[in-house]
Chains A and B, each alone.
Chain A
Amino acid sequence: MSVKFVRVVVFSFFVLVDTLARAQYNTNFLNYGSTGRCVSANLNFDAGSNGMSSGLVNKLVWGGYIDQKTKDESAKYLRAKNNFGIDLNYDVSAFVKGNSKFDFLVGFKNQELLNATYSRDFFNLMFYGNQAYRGKIADLGNCNVNALRFQEVKFGAIMHKVDSVGKIGISLSFIKGEQLFYIKTNQFSSLYTSMDGSELWFNSNFNMAISDTNSKGLGSFNGVGASADLFFETPYKSRVGKRSVLIVNANNIGFIHWRNNSVQYSSDSTLRYTGYNVTSILDLKDSTLNRINGDSLLRSLANARSEDFNVNIPTNLLIINKIYFSEPFCFSFGFRYIFNANYKPYVFVEPEYRVKNVTFGLHTGYGGYFRLNVGASVTWSSKNWFLKIGSNSLQGYIVPKSAFGQGVFFSLAKKLK
Chain B
Amino acid sequence: MVVVNRVVLFLAFFSILFIGCRKPINTNWDVDVVLPIVKSELNIKNFAGDSIFLADNTGLLHFKVTREITSLKIDSLLKLPDTTIIKTFTIPTIAKLPPGYALTFFPPTELEFDISNGVALKRVDIRSGQIIIKFMNDLLQPLDLLYVIPSAVKGGQPLKIFETIPPLPSVLTKTYDVSGYSFNMRGISGNVFNTIVQTNTVYVNPDADSVFVNYGQGPKIELSYKDIVPEYVEGYFGQQTIDIPLDTAKLDLVENFHAANFMLNDASLTFNILNGFGAEFSANLSNITSINSGAGNVVPLTNNQLSNININRATRAGTTVFPTVKALSFLSSNSNIVPFLSNLPDRLTYKGNISVNPLSPSNISGYNDFAFHDHGIRVMADIDIPMRFNADYFKLKSNTAVDFSNIEQLENVKSGNFVILATSSYPFKARLQAYMLDEQGLVIDSLFVPGKNSIEAGQLNSQNVVVAPVDSKVLIPIAPEKITKLRKTKSIEIVTYFLMPPNPPDIKIYENYTIKVNIVAELNYNVTNK
Contact = CB atoms under 8 A, between A and B. Distances in A.
A62 B403 contact: no
B13 A9 contact: yes
Nearest to B13: A9
B361 to A, nearest CB: 59
A280 B529 CA distance: 36
Contacts of B86: none
Most chain B CB inside 10 Å of its own CB: which residue of A59, A275, A285, A414: A275
A198 B15 contact: no
B526 to A, nearest CB: 9
Interface stretch (B289-297, B321-329, B513-521): B513-521
A280 B34 contact: no
A286 B421 contact: no
Interface residues of A, number: 63
Contacts of A280: 40-43, 46
A132 B31 CA distance: 10
Nearest to B496: A282
B17 interface: yes
A187 to B, nearest CB: 25
Nearest to A124: B31
Contact of B33 (A17, A110, A131): A131
A275 B34 contact: no
B15 A92 contact: yes
A394 B21 CA distance: 23
Interface stretch (A289-297, A334-342, A357-365): A289-297
Contacts of B406: 290
Contact of B400 (A127, A199, A273, A282): A282
Contacts of A96: 4, 7
A128 interface: yes
A13 B29 CA distance: 35
A117 B360 CA distance: 101
B26 interface: yes
Interface string B317-346: 000000000000000000000000000000
Chain A facing B: main interface SS? mixed
Contact of A198 (B17, B18, B28, B518): B518
Contacts of A63: 25-27
A278 B419 contact: no
A416 B29 contact: no
A275 B39 CA distance: 5
Nearest to B42: A281
Interface string B393-431: 000001010111011111000000001010000000000
Interface string B202-229: 0000000000000000000000000000
A33 interface: no
A399 interface: no
Interface string B4-38: 10110111011101110110011111111111111
Interface stretch (A64-72, A256-264, A299-307): A64-72
Interface string A171-210: 0000000000000000000000100111110000000000
A130 B34 contact: yes
Nearest to A293: B409
Interface residues of B, number: 57
Contacts of B36: 197-200, 273-275
Interface in A65-122: 65-68, 71, 90, 92, 94, 96, 106, 108, 110
Contacts of B350: none
A300 B37 CA distance: 14
Most chain B CB inside 10 Å of its own CB: which residue of A16, A96, A284: A284
A280 B408 CA distance: 24
Contacts of B27: 59-60, 63-66
A156 to B, nearest CB: 15
Interface in A129-155: 129-132, 134
Given A281-B46, A281-B517, A285-B402, A275 B33 contact: no
A63 B409 CA distance: 22
Contacts of A281: 38, 40-42, 46, 517, 519
Given A280-B46, A285-B400, A416 B7 contact: yes
A66 B30 CA distance: 8
A276 B38 contact: yes
A205 to B, nearest CB: 21
Contacts of B46: 280-282
A16 B14 contact: yes
A288 interface: yes
B7 A197 contact: no
Contacts of B29: 65-67, 71, 127
B1 interface: no
A66 B28 contact: yes
A198 B520 contact: yes
B525 interface: yes
A61 interface: yes
A8 B409 CA distance: 52
A39 interface: yes
A198 to B, nearest CB: 4
Contacts of A289: 37, 404, 407, 409-410
Contacts of A17: 17
Contact of B522 (A59, A131, A279): A131
B3 interface: yes
Given A129-B32, A197-B35, A282-B46, A5 B407 contact: no
Nearest to A294: B409
A215 interface: no
A94 B38 contact: no
A383 interface: no
Contacts of B309: none
Contact of A128 (B31, B402, B419): B31
Contact of B38 (A62, A129, A132, A288): A288
Contacts of A108: 11, 15
A300 to B, nearest CB: 13
B494 interface: yes
Contacts of B519: 275, 281, 284
A68 to B, nearest CB: 8
Contacts of A129: 31-34, 525
B520 A197 contact: yes
7 smallest beta-carbon distances between A and B, as pairs: A129-B31, A275-B36, A63-B25, A197-B34, A66-B29, A131-B32, A129-B32
Interface of B: 3-4, 6-7, 9-11, 13-15, 17-19, 21-22, 25-43, 46-47, 398, 400, 402-404, 406-410, 419, 421, 494, 517-522, 525, 529
5 contacts: A16-B17, A127-B29, A129-B31, A131-B32, A193-B34
Given A94-B10, A126-B31, A131-B34, 4 more contacts: A5-B6, A39-B11, A66-B28, A130-B32
Interface of A: 5, 9, 12-13, 16-17, 39, 41, 59-68, 71, 90, 92, 94, 96, 106, 108, 110, 126-132, 134, 193, 196-200, 218, 273-286, 288-290, 292-293, 414, 416-417
